A and B are shown apart, each in its own frame.
Chain A
């Protein structure tokens, strides 16, 4: 109960603080539809001479990109950058002295930030997609999708948090951070559905945690899952998502303990 009160307090404070910069967040209302418009043109051209690509129709592929954009807005995270900044400035010390785990504090910040994004980014962009592009984004199984997107939210946080922890070992982790973030997005199916990748790569991606960030919630939204020749039912893939999140949580805990042993608090 105390944890919930604490999470609520931190989230609300972040919500209010971020509200001061809402105009920056609102840029997504422009960039989201523009990026989608380009996808619309690209795929309309591709489909002008054929009916399906890799078993997907034009409507399905546009829906895929629409849902990916929404998932991106709902789960966006910058905990890696914040942690890196705190480690390098030495300010993490002030958080370590508090009677609350930094990781818990950080995810509470993310919740507050995304609560604001829900009104400023998600709803307007959803309406633009719906009315301007005619993309009817209605999940196949609402309940399962809510569970899956919640798990994706946690997964993005844990992956980014682990990436941020690289700053315990590296004086300047900017490059490594960017590299991991790029790999994460490619392997999550943000740029193109994972089922478009060569078979061998799909098999590798199936065993990595990144598919649970965007590809899996997307497939749950659409109502069927297939990757690397494996067809799984929605409850089964969401179950796997739970396992992946638990493993990632374990990895982040392990890295945190190792990292704290290296942390001097001096800064760089």
Chain B
């Protein structure tokens, strides 16, 4: 309970800080939303030329991107800020302050990194999701249940990635470009898995299960054939455990020297 209170306090402090300049805050929130609308925008442009991804209608393709954005919106404001928080603190040598607090450093990294601007992603994801789902056949109860499970897996994947990125930047000081690596890796889930070769499909479902972050939940919701949902769930959890262990091992190598 005290952890929740602490987290809420972190949220309040962050929002109060951003409210010192409301215009910039609102513009930044809008921008966060617009940035993630680029892929749907390109998809709409592609479909407007008469082209398409074989077997996928426009709104079905948009649903994939909406689900990814929704999961991103549930992750970026609430815990993904730990990545930039780690980068800044390691570079400035202020991560030490969190290490001496009577809480787990990972929790402190999350609490002090609530990013209100990224709520725009959640809003955008939810809006796009409603638009896309209203244009396709309404899924049944089983589809919704499986979708909810995979959406949870998607958020867990975001958390695992945040751990990996945070861990890398403990050693590789000041590397904001880890975000580009993240974008490049997760780009694969913004499109139907059927467009990839078989070997790539295996990689994105069984090795680095990014398919669980967008394309797979969308396929489930649309009633398209999806193999091994439970297996992917297990792979996601293994990925999370490995990421956390990696984060712990990198923390042991923290030099506290700044950079």
Contacts and interface: CB of A to CB of B under 8 A. Distances in A.
Interface in A17-40: 21, 23-24, 27, 30-31, 34-35, 38
A38 B27 contact: no
A266 to B, nearest CB: 17
Given A30-B181, A175-B27, A176-B27, A38 B21 contact: no
Contacts of A31: 177, 180-181, 183-184
B55 to A, nearest CB: 9
B34 interface: yes
Contacts of A50: 51
Interface string B176-196: 010011011101100110111
B52 A192 contact: no
B228 interface: no
Contact of A49 (B31, B48, B54): B54
Given A27-B177, A175-B27, A46 B51 contact: yes
Contacts of B107: none
A170 B21 CA distance: 10
A192 B42 contact: yes
Contact of A182 (B31, B180, B196): B31
B85 interface: no
Contacts, number: 96
A197 interface: yes
Contacts of B23: 170, 175
A196 B34 contact: no
A46 B49 CA distance: 11
B31 A178 contact: yes
A187 B184 CA distance: 22
Contacts of A173: 24
A145 B103 CA distance: 58
B6 interface: no
A53 B31 contact: no
B30 A179 contact: yes
A37 to B, nearest CB: 9
Interface string B15-32: 000000101111110110
A89 interface: no
A233 interface: no
Contacts of B138: none
Contact of A197 (B27, B45, B174): B45
B54 A45 contact: yes
B46 interface: yes
Nearest to A26: B177
A46 B46 contact: yes
A191 B42 CA distance: 7
B83 to A, nearest CB: 15
A3 to B, nearest CB: 33
Interface string B106-147: 000000000000000000000000000000000000000000
Contacts of B188: 38
Given A31-B180, A170-B24, A186 B51 contact: no
Given A42-B191, A53-B51, A34 B31 contact: no
A33 to B, nearest CB: 9
A202 to B, nearest CB: 12
B195 A42 contact: yes
B38 interface: yes
B31 A46 contact: no
A207 interface: no
Contacts of B49: 53-54, 196
Contacts of A42: 53, 191, 195
A200 to B, nearest CB: 13
Contacts of A198: 48
A44 interface: yes
B175 A34 contact: no
Closest 9 CB pairs of A and B: A175-B27, A45-B195, A175-B28, A172-B24, A34-B184, A178-B31, A27-B177, A31-B184, A175-B24
Interface of B: 21, 23-28, 30-31, 34-35, 38, 41-42, 45-46, 48-54, 172, 174-175, 177, 180-181, 183-185, 187-188, 191-192, 194-197, 200
